[in-house]
Amino acid sequence: MRLLLTGATGFIGSSFYASYHDSFTIETFSFQKELSSLSIHNIDTLVHLSALVHQMDGALESAYKEVNVTKTIDLAQKVKAAGVKHFVFMSSVKVYGEESTIPYSETTPCHPKDPYGESKLDAEKALQALEDETFIVSIIRTPVVYGPRVKANILKLVQLTDRSMALPFGDINNRRSMVYVENLTHLLSEVIVQQKAGIFLASDDTPISTTELIHSIVNALHKKVFLFSFPLLKLILKQFKPSLHQRLYEDLFIDNTYTREQLHLENPYSTQEGIAKMIIWYKDQQK
């Protein structure tokens, strides 16, 4: 099977390429280039991982729309016209919103709260409108992805934990779904091989609390870090840093039973195994 992969040098793309370049014939394309430079020959599936992501501070709403919607649909139309049969799109649970008191599923109504989430949902809808008997679309929605080469908030949390003797994140009993990058790329490979259309949710087997996550990082680092409860911090963050408060204290979790049943999917790694592999990579970067 011949794939065309965008985002091959990114966090998820590089992991996918490293694990599956022997399983598929993979050509790559930088989405930063003009689409007019893209030449398509005998490609079966387009795997679109490139995006303007929500961690990019200061990005304008128009930039999200241009990259994540307009250029993505232009790409889909071009590959469809060239005879590509399958378009795989990496989306995000941010299409649902920012928190959940009940688990998100593949059919949960979407109410995105920021330009990034809105752009991903708009792209999903436009891609599905292109589907016909010759062109299928698979949409993969992910929560926070972690693992070797991780960036942004998870890397900051690892660095903070590594540098601290005590942290005020004890007794946080929220539920946060995450997905280890090799569990995600395994799901991605199954969608490609099985050529299944529809919406699929990526997640590790069980949600994890902020306190449990930090404990797992501490254990993988082989450190001693005292976690204590600090209710005042929770109140301060809720007032002055609501987005950080939401990530640290609120629920955002997934029930991807449908995805697992449709793909006959089992995650290769537990969350603890994924965190351990991430910390091995992190320690290597410190040498």
**Does position 126 have pLDDT exceeding 80, yes or no?**
yes
Q: What is the pLDDT of residues 44-70, one digit of tens each?
A: 999 999 988 865 555 678 889 999 999
- The token pair at 180 is 């280890």
Residue 255 binned pLDDT confidence (cut-offs 50, 70, 90): very high
Query: What's the N-to-C CA distance of the chain in angstroms?
Result: 39
Give the residue numbers marked as catalytic: 116
Q: Is residue 158 part of a domain?
A: no
Q: Is residue 190 part of a domain?
A: yes
- Listed in sequence order, the residues at least 6 apart from 42 whose beta carbon sits closer than 8 Å to its beta carbon are 2
| Site of tokens 């589907």 | 131
Q: Is residue 214 part of a domain?
A: no
Q: What CATH number is associated with residue 109?
A: 3.40.50.720
Q: Kindly report the number of other CB atoms within 10 A of residue 234's CB atom.
A: 16
Q: Is residue 116 part of a domain?
A: yes
Cα–Cα distances (Å) from 66 to 70, 76, 154, in that order, read 5, 14, 27
Domain of 197?
2-149+178-205+253-268
What's the half-sphere exposure (Cβ side, CA atoms, 13 Å) at 257?
5
**Does position 91 have pLDDT exceeding 80, yes or no?**
yes
Q: What is the mean pLDDT of residues 106-125?
A: 95
Average pLDDT for the chain: 94
Q: Is residue 100 part of a domain?
A: yes
Residue 114 sits at the vertex; the CA angle it makes with 112 and 115, to the nearest 5 degrees, is 105
- The token pair at 17 is 């390429």
Q: Is residue 243 part of a domain?
A: no
Give the pLDDT of residue 254. 95
Pick the range with the lowest mean pLDDT from 76-80, 170-174, 187-191, 283-287: 283-287
Q: What is the pLDDT of residues 193-221, one digit of tens each?
A: 999 999 999 999 999 999 999 999 999 99
| Site of tokens 């370049």 | 21
pTM for the full model?
Answer: 0.95
Asked whether 120 and 95 are in contact (CB, 8 A), the reply is yes
Enclosing H/E stretch for 115: helix 115-129
Give the pLDDT of residue 56. 52
Q: Kindly report the number of other CB atoms within 10 A of residue 229's CB atom.
A: 12
Q: Is residue 261 part of a domain?
A: yes
Distance CA 126, CA 147 (A): 31
**Does position 18 have pLDDT exceeding 70, yes or no?**
yes
Q: How many residues are listed for the chain in this entry? A: 287
Distance CA 274, CA 159 (A): 17
Number of structural domains in the chain: 1
Distance CA 48, CA 139 (A): 10
Residue 263 sits at the vertex; the CA angle it makes with 177 and 193, to the nearest 5 degrees, is 115
Q: Is residue 8 part of a domain?
A: yes
- The token pair at 278 is 């991430």
Give the pLDDT of residue 73. 97
